[in-house]
């Protein structure tokens, strides 16, 4: 048998076999189920830019992020449509002058579409950074980023960073 097929078969057998049975503690009490994590502003902004800002009482930023994202998507879709139209004309062109003109227009609209998509991705990323750094937890500011400096059990110097969402 092929070694790759054997490895895949072993991996599937282990994956599908389930987790081993855990021993019950002496009291027989079950572990309490973990509480579901609330759907917070970061998760909302991850799905729809600006939604998280709306949920924490910052409607101006929410409108800016949502509006910018929508405008970028509209621009990308419009340029994509125009590029497709010019590409169809390019393929059907009868003379070299029309071929060159439609090919140039197709490339121009494709480039603009890509720029709009890149701008939309940048707005989405700024939206996430905004909500991650400015999100509030009750009345106190939430520290999203932390830096840990210390020593481990071998007394080696250790630097670590963390991010809470």
Residue 143: partners with Cβ closer than 8 Å, 6 or more residues away: 164
Q: Is residue 150 part of a domain?
A: yes
Q: Write down the pLDDT at residue 94.
A: 92
In this predicted model, what pLDDT tens digit does every residue of 55-103 receive, in sequence order?
888 888 899 999 999 999 999 999 999 999 999 999 999 999 999 999 9
Q: Is residue 97 part of a domain?
A: yes
Q: Write down the pLDDT at residue 56.
A: 85
Give the C-alpha separation, 28 to 22, whole Å: 12
Q: Write down the pLDDT at residue 19.
A: 46
Q: Which long-range contacts link 19-22 to residues 24+ away (Cβ below 8 Å)?
A: none
Q: Is residue 11 part of a domain?
A: no
Q: Is residue 14 part of a domain?
A: no
Q: Is residue 24 part of a domain?
A: no
Q: Write down the pLDDT at residue 27.
A: 52
What is the distance, to the nearest Å, from the Cα of residue 39 to the centroid of all Cα atoms in its chain?
16
End-to-end CA distance of the chain: give it in Å, rounded: 47
* Nearest in space to 123 (alpha carbons), one of 66, 161, 80, 83: 66
Provide the residue count of the chain: 165
Q: Is residue 8 part of a domain?
A: no
* Strand, helix or coil for residue 34: coil
Judge whether residue 2 has pLDDT over 90: no
Per-residue confidence band for 41, with pLDDT thresholds at 50, 70 and 90: confident
Per the prediction, the chain carries an average pLDDT of 78
Give the C-alpha separation, 90 to 82, whole Å: 12
Domain extent for 143: 40-163
Q: Is residue 5 part of a domain?
A: no
Task: Compare 59 and 21 and report the one with higher pLDDT.
Answer: 59
Give the C-alpha separation, 70 to 114, whole Å: 15
Number of domains making up the chain: 1
- Please write down the HEC assignment for all residues of 37-66: CCCCHHHHHHHCCCHHHHHCCCHHHHHHHH
Lowest mean pLDDT among 31-35, 64-68, 136-140: 136-140
């Amino acid at each position: 048998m092929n070694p790759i097929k054997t490895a895949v078969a072993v991996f599937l057998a282990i994956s599908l076999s389930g987790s081993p049975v855990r021993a019950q503690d002496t009291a027989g009490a079950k572990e309490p189920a973990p509480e579901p994590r609330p759907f917070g502003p970061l998760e909302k902004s991850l799905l729809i830019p600006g939604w998280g800002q709306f949920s924490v009482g910052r409607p101006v930023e929410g409108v800016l992020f949502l509006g910018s994202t929508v405008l970028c998507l509209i621009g990308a879709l419009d340029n994509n449509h125009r590029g497709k139209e010019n590409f169809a004309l390019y393929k059907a062109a009868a003379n070299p002058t029309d071929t060159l003109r439609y090919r140039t227009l197709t490339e121009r609209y494709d480039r603009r579409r890509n720029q709009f998509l890149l701008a939309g991705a940048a707005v989405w990323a700024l939206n996430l950074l905004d909500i991650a750094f400015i999100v509030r937890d009750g009345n106190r500011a939430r520290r999203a980023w932390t830096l840990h400096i210390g020593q481990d059990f071998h007394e080696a110097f250790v630097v670590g960073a963390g991010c809470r969402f």
